[in-house]
Amino acid sequence: MAPQLDGYFKQVDKLSESFIERLRKAVAIPSVSADDKRRPDVVKMSEFLVSELEALGAHVESRPLGLQPGKKDLHLPPVVVARYGDSPEKRTLLLYGHYDVQPAGKSDGWATDPFTLTVDEKGRMYGRGSTDDKGPVLGWLNAIQAHKEAGVEIPVNLLMCFEGMEEYGSEGLDDFIEKEAKPGGFFEKADAVCISDNYWLGTKKPCLTYGLRGCNYYSVSISGPGQDLHSGLFGGSVQEPMTDLVRVLGTLVDTNGKIKIPGINEMVVPVTEDEKSLYADISYTMDNLYESIGSKTGVYSDKENTLMARWRYPSLSVHGIEGVFSDPGAKTVIPAKVIGKFSIRTVPDMKSDQVDQLVFKYMKDEFAKLGSKNTISVELMHAGNWWVTSPKDWSFTAAGRAVEKVFGVKPDLTREGGSIPVTLTFQKATGKSVLLLPIGSSTDAAHSINEKLDRWNYIEGTKLLGAYLHYLAEEGMKA
């Protein structure tokens, strides 16, 4: 295998500038799934993927998902499915990724335009979606192209599933996957599933990931006056929705991240001695955390508690408030209606529906304690399940060998605090191994301002994804 891989690696290096151009074109399409007005751009991004895949010789289909639930006349973006190779002699790998991105604006504090890929002298490639998840998705396309141009055969068949609503809870995708995994469906022949959509623990050592937290995302709306009011004319004489909202939001979680909603922490499986021992071997230091977050404001001072807080305990984050004054300057307004947004990252053995019921009851009880005449309504906006698997099967073995080949180290085995809602769906629907194989680093700032992917990660990551296909074929013969 080594000579073949060497040819492939050389071709990746040769094509590296064109791979960066491909990422530049993708980042320039502001495919923000959470913003209804950007939906045409999300669709445009799907079309970009279709044309890139067709140019590589893949069979590609753009599958509609229908209308978005709860929205009037707004269509969900299509799922791009593709097939590359269909040999009955080969194993088949199903790849999943997403082509939508989180919202971003220069006014949020970006140093550069978020939708213009900007590469600095250290090879840091800034742009929304560069690491989450356009870079990794294009990494798979790059791997196909480099194989083709190096004249190296890909030893597995590839199926692809690229969606455009992941950052909004993968609306509509569960049913699609379940249908396509059945006999006669597009994913029927999948022998394993691989997702590249998370991050290494640090900046140099790759990891293989075997667990994710889930995410239940809520909105809490408080309304009172019929319209926004002058605070000089009416302040003191009306009960203010914003005051009520910050008070209820303030009861959800304490400064050290302890969730105050009764019943939530009780659902979490206790840590076993076996599990505790896993953390010792993981290459991670508190400096890795400080580098990623850009400060020393962590809750814990040791790596074990820090990693457990990120991976195996739930967390509650307050994200924002809709309907409020948020510009610079001073505006003396009393907002008439405000909508707070918060989410809970869920872990084994939390049951999503039970979490919802506890949240709804708690918010209503806390609001009742205020004695306010305003009205409250709490809703679940979207939910995705947690997922944990065993990191010991043939696909993990293949990926571990690929990491050793490309990077010369054994990968860390990690869990991840973020969520990829369809991971569990793929596992249940196909009944096959699901592996998370990230290429981005802990400093990439996904979802944040100045998101980036390092050129080194993108190019070496493309080598890793391609090498994994070869070891997968080898391990598949033994499995």
Ligand X SMILES: NCC(=O)N[C@@H](Cc1c[nH]cn1)C(=O)O
Question: Which residues make up the interface to ligand X (CB under 6 A)?
Answer: 132-133, 166-167, 169, 197-198, 215, 217, 384, 418-421, 446
Q: Is the dihedral of CA 438, 439, 442, 446 positive or negative?
A: negative
132 binds Zn ion (CB under 5 A): yes
Is 166 in the active site?
yes
Count the Cβ atoms, other than its own, within 10 Å of residue 87: 12
Taking CB within 5 to 8 Å according to partner kind, which of ligand X, Zn ion, none is near residue 145? none
Q: How far is the CB of 386 from ligand X (least distance, A)?
A: 11
Q: How far is the CB of 375 from Zn ion (least distance, A)?
A: 33
Is 17 in the active site?
no
Q: How far is the CB of 117 from Zn ion (least distance, A)?
A: 17
**Residue 130 or 372 with smaller CB distance to Zn ion:** 130
Q: How far is the CB of 446 from Zn ion (least distance, A)?
A: 6
Taking CB within 5 to 8 Å according to partner kind, which of ligand X, Zn ion, none is near residue 92? none
412 binds Zn ion (CB under 5 A): no
**Residue 171 or 191 with smaller CB distance to ligand X:** 171
**Residue 417 or 476 with smaller CB distance to ligand X:** 417
Of the candidates 41, 132, 163, 166, the residue annotated as catalytic is 166
Q: Is 389 left (phi over 0), alpha (psi -120 to 50) or beta?
A: beta
Of the candidates 41, 52, 100, 174, the residue annotated as catalytic is 100
Residue with the two structure tokens 């230091």: 285
Residue with the two structure tokens 């809970």: 344
Q: Which position among 100, 191, 197, 240 is part of the footprint of Zn ion (CB under 5 A)? A: 197
**Residue 348 or 418 with smaller CB distance to ligand X:** 418
Give the range of 1-9, 34-42, 141-149, 190-198 binding Zn ion by CB under 5 A. 190-198
**Residue 136 or 155 with smaller CB distance to ligand X:** 136
58 token code pair: 């893949």
**Residue 166 or 191 with smaller CB distance to ligand X:** 166
133 binds Zn ion (CB under 5 A): yes
Residue with the two structure tokens 């991105």: 101
162 token code pair: 């690229």
Q: How far is the CB of 215 from ligand X (least distance, A)?
A: 4
Q: How far is the CB of 46 from ligand X (least distance, A)?
A: 18
275 token code pair: 């599990």
CA of 450: how far to CAs of 109, 121, 124, 255, 404, in Å? Answer: 8, 15, 10, 26, 30
Q: Nearest residue by C-beta to ligand X?
A: 418
**Residue 315 or 374 with smaller CB distance to Zn ion:** 315
Give the range of 37-45, 109-117, 195-203, 339-347 binding Zn ion by CB under 5 A. 195-203
Answer for the pair 212, 422: CB distance below 8 angstroms, yes or no.
no
Give the range of 10-18, 125-133, 364-372, 465-473 binding Zn ion by CB under 5 A. 125-133
Name, in order, each residue with C-beta under 8 angstroms of 455's C-beta and a sequence gap of 6 or more: 16, 20, 119, 123, 124, 125
244 binds Zn ion (CB under 5 A): no
> Which string of b and e fits 112-122 if b means at least 16 CB within 10 Å?
ebbbebbbeee
451 binds Zn ion (CB under 5 A): no
Q: How far is the CB of 217 from Zn ion (least distance, A)?
A: 13
The set of catalytic residues is 100, 166
| List of residues contacting Zn ion (CB under 5 A) | 132-133, 197
